[in-house]
Amino acid sequence: MKPRVFSGVQPSGNLHIGNYLGALKNWVRMQHEYDCIYCIVDLHAITVYQDPKELLTKIRDIAALFLAAGIDPKVSNVIVQSAVPAHAELAWMLTCVTPMGWLSRMTQFKAKSEKQETVGDGLFQYPVLMAADILLYQAAAVPVGDDQSQHVELTRDIAQRFNSLYGETFVVPATTLPTIGARVMGLDDPLKKMSKSDPGSGHAIALLDPPAVIRKKFSRATTDSLPAVDFDALGPGVDNLLNIFQAFSDWTGDQMRAHFSGMRYGDLKKQVAEMVISHLEPFQARHRQITAEPGYLDGVLREAAGRAAPIANSTVELVKRRMGLYVTS
Ligand code: ATP
Ligand code: MG
């Protein structure tokens, strides 16, 4: 049996190149070596208010984007989190073994709660639900961007605590980060990570942005006061642009230096834009094909949920037995 992989994306906005380079690119690469479950984590998205009609549309949008990025639904399972109720069930059991002190150290909670008028308890519990997502499938590896590594670390702590309290139950998962592109920064502010939920119009390159929009956003990207690329004095904005180019092109560090040293920022921005466009155009064409077939996506999601649910349910049953909860036989 192949080792299992689990990872997810929230349907909280348009997928951007950070999501692609940090997560999806690795997902595609890993799908033949591992038994993969890729999840649209709608229960995570509602930790901040989502318009119900838009949320349902975004769930399907994200599923189509997974497939357009190269996830093969015959090889990998693409599921919607709320279609498998065991996610929420295990989350409760894990909540009961997670000290609040562990959760209050999470940097994402601090950053996201600052932006909310009222902070829902779900935002605080978010990492426990994420631990449930991963542990439910006994995943050995979790391919995510750098911003999620603290949550995977917490998942490991929760798994170990449960195992020591109730006996060996969960596989303790490892984080898989890409070498380049693990943390793509905002084009408008290179000190902030690129995020779906950031409203700034020049902040992120969405995977479905047309070429003209991509060129415009890169041309306005924040750099610094130097005129040209100096690898010994890279400001965060220029460093981010170079990283984006390198992650898409798979060039080596030496190739990058040889090509970009001394290049004026205006030319750098144009070359990064063209590199990104050349990768996103075939992707966007596949996306158009997928969304043109009515019923296809829902069929993919239904079948995958049917395959995932028994795995998830058997873990919940094991956890119930370990904890002494009632199981109907
Ligand atoms: P939100 O603002 O709603 O939290 P997000 O852009 O952070 O959206 P998520 O759905 O939270 O996206 O994360 C999906 C995956 O993309 C995760 O594996 C996460 O680590 C990765 N990811 C998110 N942002 C970046 C980024 N800027 N660079 C690299 N990877 C990223
Ligand atoms: Mg996020």
pLDDT digits (tens, 9 = 90+) for 183-192: 999 999 999 9
Q: What is the dihedral of CA 58, 71, 297, 9, to 10 degrees?
A: -20
The pLDDT of residue 90: 98
Contact assessment for residue 41 and residue 82, using Cβ atoms and an 8 Å cutoff: no
* CA separation for the pair 4, 293 (Å, rounded): 30
Tokens encoding 40: 């649209």
- How many whole angstroms from its chain centre is CA 228? 33
First CA to last CA across the chain, in angstroms? 28
**Ligand 1 pocket: which of 147, 150, 246 to mutate (most atoms within 8 A of CB):** 147
The pLDDT of residue 55: 97
pLDDT value at 119 more than 80 = yes
The pLDDT of residue 93: 98
Q: What is the dihedral of CA 81, 83, 86, 90, to 10 degrees?
A: 30
Q: Between the CA of residue 226 and those of 223, 257, 264, what are the distances in Å? A: 8, 17, 9
The pLDDT of residue 329: 72
The pLDDT of residue 1: 87
Rounded to the nearest angstrom, the distance between the alpha carbon of 97 and the centre of ligand 2 is 24
The pLDDT of residue 285: 95
Contact assessment for residue 142 and residue 177, using Cβ atoms and an 8 Å cutoff: no
Contact assessment for residue 218 and residue 187, using Cβ atoms and an 8 Å cutoff: yes
Q: What is the pTM of this model?
A: 0.96
The reply to whether ligand 1 has any atom less than 6 angstroms from the CB of 147 is yes
CA-nearest residue for atom 13, ligand 1, is 9
DSSP code per residue over 114-141: HT-SS--HHHHHHHHHHHHHHHHTT-SE
Rounded to the nearest angstrom, the distance between the alpha carbon of 321 and the centre of ligand 1 is 35
Q: How high is the mean pLDDT of the chain?
A: 97
Rg (CA), the chain: 21
For range 266-292, the mean pLDDT: 96
Closest ligand 1 atom number to CA of residue 13? 3
Rounded to the nearest angstrom, the distance between the alpha carbon of 287 and the centre of ligand 2 is 23
* CA separation for the pair 216, 209 (Å, rounded): 11
